[in-house]
A and B are shown apart, each in its own frame.
Chain A
Amino acid sequence: MLAFVLRRILQAAIVMLAVGLIAFSLFRFVGDPVVFMLGQDATPEDRARMTEMLGLDQPFYVQYWDYLARAVRGEFGMSLRQLRPVSTLMVERLPATLELSFVAALFALAVGIPMGVYTALRRNSWLSTVFLTVSLIGVSLPTFLIGILLILVFAVQLGWLPSFGRGETVAIGWWTTGLLTTSGLKALILPAITLGLFQMTLIMRLVRSEMLEVLRTDYIKFARARGLSDRAVHFGHALKNTLVPVITITGLQLGAIIAFAIITETVFQWPGMGLLFIQSVTFADVPVMGAYLMLIALFFVIINLVVDLLYYAVDPRLRIDRAAAAGH
């Protein structure tokens, strides 16, 4: 068990290093932050001085090595755009992104599962057709378009919800939350729907197909033969058995939600890490971009590691295979 965990952690570290290396080799193509910092009237001498001061004249692998050496000591450098420590910026932005992502995931589950169950049980009803059509739209429309459409309807036409921002937030220690104020909750609705819509349709379709599968199995027939109520059969037996893959997928998709929040955050000016990243790209703010990419890689690695470990704990076959492999 310990060897397995260690091996996985080592693999995770290699993934992180590779992400960092690729990221830094790409940064050269984003452009030169010095242009933004000094404005267009700067003399060549000024630019050379600034480039040297920031270490941007070094080859990328040297920059990357410096970055790693400092990151290990917990220093992520200064944002070139905002002139503030990157770690402070990340900590400031993390709550907004995580809150949005969790609410979006919650929305996807809370709406996706009932819709999936319904479409599986009443396959031919008109409402099922509507749900499936809607889910098709959710899968095929790009996120930014959905966001802009929602803004157009609910902010511009109806005037019910704000079109951008996070509303008022309440600070609890270093964490800021918008869940405790009316304006914060109102501001959360449109971005959460936009971000969660794709996952919602995914979950709905997954639940539907799993349910259809399970409903055909023998134990459901036996349950019906025992004279159990429809309700008990559907929710007590069928749904329970479909949820295992749903939970796995949702867990894995959480990483994707956090990463894809970039687009939603840009459309709604949601002050999270994704927006910070986009703004850093336009300014070629290398320290922030590096930290963001590493952080997102870390999220993915951790989520995958946890899922792997859970499988290991749940599925005895994995353990047997490993033991057998080790014997050879």
Chain B
Amino acid sequence: MKRFALAAALLAATLIAVPPADAKTFRWASQGDILTMDPHSQNEALNNGVLADVYETLVTRDKQLKVVPLLAVSWTQPKPTVWRFVLRKDVKFHDGTPFTADDVVFSMQRAQAPSSNFQIYTQGIDKVRKVDDYTVEIETKGPNPVLLDQLTELRIMSKAWAEKNKVTAPQNFIQKEETYSARNANGTGPYMLKSRETDVRTVFVANPNWWGKREGNVTEVIYTPVKSDATRVAALLSGELDFVLDPPPQDIARLKSGGKIKILEGNENRTIFLGMDQHRDELLYSDVKGKNPFKDLRVRQAVYYAIDEAAIQKNVMRGLALPTGSIVAPQVRGYSKELDKRLPHDSAKAKQLLAEAGYPNGFEVTLDCPNNRYINDERICQAVAGMLAQVGIRVKLNAMPRATYFPKIQKFDTSMYLLGWGVPTFDALYSLQSLARTVGPGGDGNFNLGRYSNPQMDARVERIKTETDRAVRDRIIGEALAIHNQDVAHVPLHHQVIPWAMKANVDAVHRADNRVTMNWVTVK
């Protein structure tokens, strides 16, 4: 009997103590650090991407970016404004507490709190209520065709844990104490936060009790911010890093040629375009007085004809761009290939249009441009300035860092600007509402910085907001995109192509929102 007990104990010990057959560490870097571990505090791309492996959501996106179940196993829509979600059972948080409907209700309310930065994803959500332990209902203020897209960013945290650590509201900036959830995490995801030294390193370990299916083989993830471009590339070459999210574009060719490094290029769903002030009767920054040339469709078309996007793609972007005539990228719902046609590069035609509009000698205008936001943003603007000069539009370039650029243009303090628009919901509404809808309350036209306005467009955007019939909705989106093209509301340039650099023995899955999913990474 004693011997049996001993054997059982030994067996149990080996079962517990055996280390994973091969422990794989994945060390990666990008320019800046993860800002916070709080799932409802900072709505920032890197932060959202990393937290998605720690905190899970009701629904998520698969490799093709389709919305698929995660913590919710299924859902129904009893009424157009009521969604009922059945939750996954036997899911546990990292601290061992079981996941129930209470956590969902709590997390949704937390994301709606005044100090949350995720209200963009909770808009239209009216009430969230628990039906039973594994069923919740979300009531929306009106029919909401993009609710599931919004839910992919609303991460679920443990109610009990939040109450215990006094973090029932996201970070409040005025309080003097550090919020516990800023440097501690407790989600249900495949990776658990092991240690966090801000700006130095953040370490995650695989969650041994995770409910889901592991697709990668990484047992430990170390994230290090490395600010200097040259150092980041050097560390990849010297083998101190396995993966760099943002290799400098000018180094790509050199990295490829070495053979030790693999470059994975993927299309981001971010569109780079030019905007023009179409609202004021006189431009703020131009030598044309008493009238606004950009109000004339022919002038906007002339700008379009003047731009040689193929040259930008080749010489400025070195191939890392997908030239486009569409304001939404192909991954976005509502995109249509027929509407993705650029006006051809034709300087003569541009000059002729300018002359017809009454500017045979062109005019002068200032182009505002960020210099640290998009890939090669300032150099794109320089190229555009050169091309416009050839048809007589003399461009004064005003490039500045993002922290000053966005406050300036968001006050409509611009005559012409360059902007890049990514679509986290993967739905064209997000672009059309922000960029082309007449400026108004509730996010309407919040980045329509040239204040383009067309009632035809507005009517369609309003219908897209509430239309739940997928086919009808797609058709209306197509109409809106066609109106956008006819009006030259913006001059689209290209969709960004994002290169990732990694060691030859690393496999990762590129996502159009530039996120590294740790669970999809394999280190050979």
Q: Please, which residues of chain B bring their CB within 8 A of the CB of A11?
A: none
CB distance from A252 to the nearest CB of B (A): 29
Residues of A74-112 whose CB lies within 8 A of B: 75, 78, 80-85, 88-89
Contact B231 A268 (CB under 8 A): yes
Among A53, A75, A80, A279, point to the contact of B227 (Cβ < 8 A): A279
- Does residue B33 face the partner (Cβ distance < 8 Å to A)? yes
Smallest CB gap from B123: residue in A? A43
The answer to whether B402 and A35 have CB atoms under 8 Å apart is: yes
Question: Is A174 close to B, CB under 8 A?
Answer: no
The reply to whether A279 and B32 contact each other, CB–CB distance below 8 Å, is yes
Count A-B contacts at CB 8 Å.
Answer: 152
Q: Mark B386-419, 1 if CB is under 8 A from A, else 0.
A: 0000000000000001111111001000000000
**Min CB–CB distance A142 → chain B (angstroms):** 13
A36 touches B403 (CB 8 A): yes
What separation, in Å, do the CA atoms of A75 and B165 have in the docked complex? Answer: 24
**Assembled-state Cα–Cα distance A268/B44 (Å):** 25
- B44's contact among A36, A50, A80, A276, by CB below 8 Å, is which? A36
Residue of B nearest to A42 (CB): B120
Chain A window 40-56, contacts with chain B (Cβ cutoff 8 Å), 1 for yes, 0 for no: 11111011011001100
Tell me which residues across on chain B come within 8 A of A207, comparing CB atoms. Answer: none
- The answer, among A83, A144, A166, A266, for a CB contact under 8 Å with B200, is A166
Q: Which residues in chain B, 56-85, are within 8 Å of chain A measured between CB atoms?
A: none
Establish whether residues B226 and A85, one from each chain, have CB atoms under 8 Å apart when the complex forms: no
Verify if B171 is at the interface (C-beta below 8 Å from A).
yes
Q: Residue B178 contacts which of A31, A40, A88, A282 (CB distance < 8 angstroms)?
A: A88
Return A9 CB to nearest CB of chain B, in Å.
30
Residue of B nearest to A152 (CB): B234
Interface residues of B in 480-514 (CB under 8 A from A): none
Q: What separation, in Å, do the CA atoms of A41 and B122 have in the docked complex?
A: 13
Q: Which residues on A sit within 8 Å (CB–CB) of B263?
A: none
Contacting pair A83 B178 (CB below 8 A): yes
Separation of A174 and B406 alpha carbons in the complex (Å) = 39
Task: Judge if B225 is at the interface, Cβ distance under 8 Å.
Answer: yes
| Chain B residues, Cβ within 8 Å of A162 | 240
Instruction: Report whether B234 and A41 are in contact in the complex, using a CB–CB cutoff of 8 Å.
Output: no
Q: What DSSP secondary structure best describes chain B's contact surface?
A: loop
- Is A148 part of the binding interface, using a Cβ–Cβ cutoff of 8 Å? yes
Q: Shortest Cβ distance from B268 into chain A, in angstroms?
A: 15
Asked if residues B199 and A276 are in contact (CB atoms below 8 Å), the reply is yes
Judged by a CB distance under 8 angstroms, whether B119 is at the interface is yes
Contact A271 B200 (CB under 8 A): yes
Encode B425-446 as 1/0 by CB contact (under 8 A) with A.
Answer: 0000000001000000011001
In B140-199, which residues have CB < 8 Å from any A CB? 171, 173-179, 182-183, 197-199
Does residue A284 face the partner (Cβ distance < 8 Å to B)? Answer: yes
How many interface residues does A have (CB within 8 Å)? 56
In the complex, the answer to whether A53 meets B200 with C-beta atoms within 8 Å is no
Q: A151-B231, A165-B224 are in contact. Are A39 and B43 (CB under 8 A)?
A: yes
Contact of B43 with A38 in the complex, beta carbons under 8 Å: yes
Among listed B34-42, B313-321, B342-350, B358-366, interface-contacting one: B34-42
Q: Given A35-B403, A148-B230, A151-B234 in contact, is the A78-B176 Cβ separation under 8 Å?
A: yes
**A269 and B120 contacting across the interface, CB-CB below 8 Å:** no
Enumerate chain B residues within 8 angstroms of A30, measured Cβ to Cβ: 403-404
Which residues of the partner chain B approach A151 to less than 8 Å between Cβ atoms? Answer: 230-231, 234
For A47, list chain B residues within 8 Å (CB). 410
**Contact present for A83 and B171 (CB under 8 Å):** yes
CA–CA, A47 to B179, complex, Å? 22
Confirm or deny: A67 has a beta carbon within 8 angstroms of a beta carbon on chain B: no
Q: Given A42-B117, A78-B173, A156-B234, A37 and B42 touching (CB < 8 A)?
A: yes
Query: Contact string, B222-242, partner A, CB cutoff 8 A, digits 1/0?
Result: 001111101110110111100
- Can you show 10 pairs from A to B with CB atoms below 8 A apart? A39-B43, A44-B446, A54-B173, A83-B35, A152-B234, A164-B226, A164-B232, A164-B235, A268-B228, A269-B225
Given contacts A44-B410, A165-B201, 18 further A-B contacts (CB under 8 A): A31-B401, A31-B403, A31-B405, A35-B406, A35-B410, A37-B42, A38-B43, A53-B174, A89-B198, A155-B235, A155-B240, A156-B237, A163-B238, A269-B231, A271-B200, A282-B32, A282-B403, A283-B403
